Amino acid sequence: MNLLMIFIIGIGLVAFLSLFYSALSRRRVEKRLNSVFESSPAPTFVIGRDHRVIYWNRAMEKLTGVKAEDVIGTRDHWRPFYKTERPCMADLAMDGAAGTYSRRDAGEDENPTERDRVEVKTDFFPDMGDGGRWIRFTASVIRDSRGEIDGAIEVLEDVTKEKEAEENLVNLKKLESLATFAGGVARDFDALISTILRGIFLAKLSTPEEDETMEQALTAAEKASLLAKELSFKLVTYAKGGRPLRKTESIIPVLQKALQNIPPESGVECSASIPEDLWPARVDSTQIRQVFESLIMNAVEAMPDGGKLELRAENAVIREGNSADIKPGRYIKVSLKDTGSGIAKEHIDRIFDPYFTTKADSGKKGLGAGLGLSVCRSIIKNHDGHISVESEPGKGSTFHVFLPASEEEAKPAKEK
């Protein structure tokens, strides 16, 4: 074998080994890349230059409910999001980059940042999850070593909680503005009603005893004015102006007295579980009693044909990171559960708004009746507590009230 033949064989062997190690290295890179995609907590998928799915990681399966084997190799990556076929952000990013690339080939100046810009979009999908989800899409093209488009990658993020928090913040700001306005109007209104009541009192003194018609008219005007003063008090309380006069005491007597207001003719059966070792709290007992009386009457009205009302009080310790966003600490938790008509899901977030009601005959209720739950929330908030509701149409409602427990011992109530 001459030297030329040995040289040729050597070149062939080197070429073979180079290709072998190149393929081995490529498989290692692909394996590593696949491992990175699969372990990523961010829902991610990759499409090739033919718009077919190459990668569909586990986080993507969890978010969409679509298995990787059902979508890889297809162009069906739109199905989890849309009812009819349409391009996703990855498709748009790749098509847009291809268009920019063709302009460069035509001799136009290319802006590298524009060529490889990241596409970002947020949209709402009502059919995803329970009640819909807000999804943020981020997509960008993938290029090979020669700068040619080799595919596109799209990363998804569930931003539903972020959107809900933004909406709650906007609503809170609106309510705070309304509260400030209501407080100012209520104080002026109360002063005017006081003036009217003084005038009615003087008119009654100067009215002849035999003039029964005038006497009745003045009495009716006096009753209406007193109701108006009660309404102004509710508005001031809602507007945070009715600051509680708090002292450490047991709320057991408050709960017991509130339960006594259930009308016997309502047909509502009441059961109560109130442990004797219930922690004391720093409360304004008059305001807290108003809260529970209002919640109880609200439950009674939700059961016009009778039903069952269950009151349960207990000591509770709230930990960090709880789902209700309550400050950690010791609380007295009081739950009121009824078997009434329940509240529709779309109304749950609005029941504490002033004058919001789902009752058909709400116009027949007393003056200021629409402020009941909003006043309850203001009182509980002024006590550094929390109030929430769980409900389902046809299955009743449960209101939960959390009042911070006091480290002090309850002082015995003085006999009046």
Find out whether 335 and 389 touch, Cβ atoms under 8 Å.
no
Query: Do 366 and 384 share a structural domain?
Result: yes
Q: What is the pLDDT of residue 369?
A: 45
Q: Please tell me whether the overall predicted TM-score, pTM, comes out greater than 0.95 for this model.
A: no
For helices 372-382 and 212-238, the axis angle rounded to 10 degrees is 50
Residue 1, domain member (yes or no): no
- In terms of phi and psi (left: phi > 0; alpha: psi -120 to 50; beta: otherwise), the region of 259 is alpha
Q: What is the pLDDT of residue 4?
A: 46
Query: Do 334 and 391 share a structural domain?
Result: yes
Q: What is the pLDDT of residue 108?
A: 46
Which residue positions in the chain have pLDDT lower than 70?
A: 1-39, 97-117, 165, 168-187, 210, 230-245, 323-324, 353-372, 409-416
Q: Determine the longest span between alpha carbons in the chain, in angstroms.
A: 146
168-181 residues labelled b (16+ CB within 10 A) or e (exposed): eeeeeeebeeebee
In what helix (H) or strand (E) does residue 58 lie, and over which residues does it extend?
helix 58-64
Residue 174, domain member (yes or no): yes
Find out whether 77 and 45 touch, Cβ atoms under 8 Å.
yes
Task: List, in order, residues 6 or more apart from 6 with CB less than 8 Å away.
Answer: none
Q: What is the pLDDT of residue 416?
A: 37
For helices 372-382 and 285-301, the axis angle rounded to 10 degrees is 150
Task: List, in order, residues 6 or more apart from 76 with CB less than 8 Å away.
Answer: 53, 70
Using alpha carbons, select from 288, 291, 189 the residue that is nearest to residue 232: 189
Structural domain containing residue 214: 159-242
Residue 6, domain member (yes or no): no
Beta strands 307-318 and 268-273 are parallel
Count of the separate structural domains present in the chain:
3
Q: What is the pLDDT of residue 243?
A: 59
Query: Do 260 and 229 share a structural domain?
Result: no
Residue 269, domain member (yes or no): yes
Tokens of 219: 């009495």
Query: Do 165 and 154 share a structural domain?
Result: no
Query: Do 345 and 326 share a structural domain?
Result: yes
55-64 residues labelled b (16+ CB within 10 A) or e (exposed): bbbbbbbebb
CATH number of residue 133's parent domain: 3.30.450.20
